[in-house]
Amino acid sequence: MKKLAVVFLAATIIALTIMSLNSNEEKQSNIYVAINGNDEEAGTLSKPLRTLQQAALVAKAGTTVHVREGIYKEKLVIQHSGTEAKPIIFKSYQNEKVVLSGENIKSEEGDTSIITIDDKNYVTVSGFTIQDLSTNLADETVMGIFITGASSHILMDSNHIQRIETHSAQGNGHGIAVYGTGSMKNIRIINNMVEDLKLGASEALVLNGNIDRFEITGNLVRRNDNIGIDLIGYEGVSLDKNADYVRNGIVNRNKVYDISSYGNPAYGKEYSAAGIYVDGGRDIMIEENTVYHNDIGIEAASEHKGKFAANIEIFENVIYENFYTGIAIGGYDEQQGGIKNSRISKNILYRNDTKGMGGGQLMLQHDIRANKIEKNILTAGPSHIFIANYFITGENNKLNQNVFHKESERKGIWIWGDEEFTSFSAFKSVSGSDKGTMYIDPKYVDSSDYNFRLETNSPVRGIFESEE
């Protein structure tokens, strides 16, 4: 009997020890924050912490920080890294509305952000509303979310960023800014809403510098007064000059609209903001986005002479009713860089150039080399212009099997080498377009709903819907 009692006592001690360890592990892996919490408490659901910053201090690899409903008027600076097996996650608790407000953050020169991730890895931020940070200072850059250094394996998921504003003509602001000053990898920005920003000379959602492998998917970017989504290289952001460009990524299934620099104090009355812009990035797929009512739909080039956006795929996007042009490639003047080894394919370009500024549906600019433009359907806007090429600066570019929408009430105009053509056959000859290029009615079922479905008997269905 004594032996049995000893065995039972030992088993009991082991069980209690395991329970204690499990309890401690639970405390470490789940932390709770609430407006009525206390930073002196344990951070459990029943005894939550009060501040995000206290949670950031104690959150280690494998911790999920659950934030309860309320308005938190504080910065969140991520203090620790997670690991691949044990990331650090900050999220709203059961989809409650959690607002991080910058209204009490003091303005000062330099970078000011509501959420900051600097040199951290394996971090997720999900389900927050981030808003109300503004400045009047020319030397302050305000940001909703700022990811910098050599941070990698970062996920921004289902956040709502709004009302981040600079009120200075020389100022800068971002909704989400990712700056790879060090070597940065695996950045994912998915299902966020970025809206109603005053950006000065900057961008709503930007990746800049030494960033290798990224995904920007399913975001809604709208009503901002400068570029919507921007992928940048060669600005001197990275400490490694040979890797100072964004690369190896995808921008897909985003909706980007109402992006215009007109009235922005930094630009005055210029219509120059793209919905999606590749400025010196490389090896990037831009596909299945819906882009409308912007100054420029999609743009790809480099703003640094002798540098290029390269290996860019602009594929199966729907681009309509943008003010200046649908797609623009190449530098906007001779002092800029260009684009090379890229493909623009199977896009719907519909009634862009709504301001009659001469950009047409597709604008070809300076220093475009070895690009393929193929299988796109172009419907002219009020200017009647399909392609606008005012410069003879390209080489080895191919135009194959593009479809120009023929309408009885609207004559087509093609501008090539700054010469205007109203004859399709003349344009086809001078541009070197292939025999498969057509001027014909593609027969949309009903383009008024912007779905652009082709009728069963469409003469271009085989071209546009054929497999690669």
pLDDT of residue 17: 41
Same domain, 303 and 401: yes
Rounded to an integer, the average pLDDT of 258-281 is 97
Instruction: Looking at 188-341, list the stretches that DSSP marks H as alpha helix, in order from N- to C-terminal side.
Output: none
Q: Name the strand (E) or helix (H) holding 286.
A: strand 282-287
Instruction: Tell me the per-residue pLDDT of 289-333, one tens digit each, with 9 for 90 and over.
Output: 999 999 999 999 999 999 999 999 999 999 999 999 999 999 998
Q: What secondary structure does DSSP assign to 185-208, as a single string?
A: EEEEEES-EEES-B-BTS-SEEEE
Q: Give the residue among 437, 442, 348, 441 at the shortest CA–CA distance from 398.
A: 437
3-state secondary structure of 143: strand
Q: 6 falls in which pLDDT band (50, 70, 90)?
A: very low
Q: Are residues 227 and 366 in the same domain?
A: no
- 115 forms bridges with which residues in the sheet? 76, 145
Q: Do 252 and 354 sit in the same domain of this protein?
A: no
Please report the pLDDT score of residue 409 as a whole number: 82
- What's the confidence (pLDDT) of residue 364? 97
Domain count, the chain: 2
Whether 408 and 265 map to the same domain: the answer is no
Domain stop point among 270, 297, 328: 270
Question: Do 351 and 447 lie in a common domain?
Answer: yes
Mean pLDDT score across all residues of the chain:
93
In this prediction, residue 25 carries a pLDDT of 46
**Are 333 and 251 in a shared domain?**
no
pLDDT at 265: 94
**pLDDT above 60 for 27:** no
> What is the helix (H) or strand (E) element at residue 297, kind and residue range?
strand 296-301
Average pLDDT for 117-142: 98
| Cβ neighbours of 136 (radius 10 Å) | 11
Nearest C-alpha neighbor of 93 from the set 142, 59, 44, 135: 44
Q: Is residue 75 part of a domain?
A: no
The number of beta carbons lying within 10 Å of the beta carbon of residue 320 is 24
- Domain assignment present for 244: yes
**Residues 232 and 126 placed together within one structural domain of the fold:** yes
76: β partners: 115
Q: Are 259 and 292 in a shared domain?
A: no
- Those residues whose C-beta lies under 8 Å from the C-beta of residue 12, and which sit 6 or more positions away, are none
Distance separating alpha carbons of residues 382 and 322, to the nearest angstrom: 11
Collapse the DSSP code of 261 into the 3-class scheme (helix H, G, I; strand E, B; otherwise coil) and give the result: coil
Q: Does the pLDDT of residue 447 top 80, yes or no?
A: yes
Give the pLDDT band (50/70/90) at residue 2: very low
Residues 306 and 408 in one domain: yes
Per-residue confidence band for 410, with pLDDT thresholds at 50, 70 and 90 = confident
Is the Cβ–Cβ distance between 301 and 330 less than 8 Å? yes
Bin 321: left if φ > 0, else alpha if -120 < ψ < 50, else beta: left
Q: Which residues contact 30 (CB under 8 A, 6 or more apart)?
A: 44, 45, 63, 64, 66
Query: Which helix (H) or strand (E) covers residue 373, if one does?
Result: strand 372-374
pLDDT of the residue at 28: 58
The amino acid present at 449, given as its one-letter code, is: D
pLDDT at 407: 95
Gap between the Cα atoms of 126 and 90, Å rounded: 6
| pLDDT tier at 462, thresholds 50, 70, 90 | confident
Q: CA end-to-end span of the chain, whole Å?
A: 79
Q: Are residues 151 and 262 in the same domain?
A: yes
DSSP annotation of 366 = B
In whole angstroms, what is the distance from residue 372 CA to residue 381 CA?
Answer: 23
Mean pLDDT, residues 70-92 taken together:
98
d(CA 91, CA 64): 7
Whether 381 and 246 map to the same domain: the answer is: no
Which tens digits make up the pLDDT trace of 40-51?
A: 999 999 999 999
Domain of 353 in residue numbering reads as 286-468
Please say whether the beta carbons of 256 and 210 come within 8 A: no
pLDDT tens-place string over residues 227-239: 999 999 999 999 9
Looking at this protein, which amino acid is placed at residue 313?
E
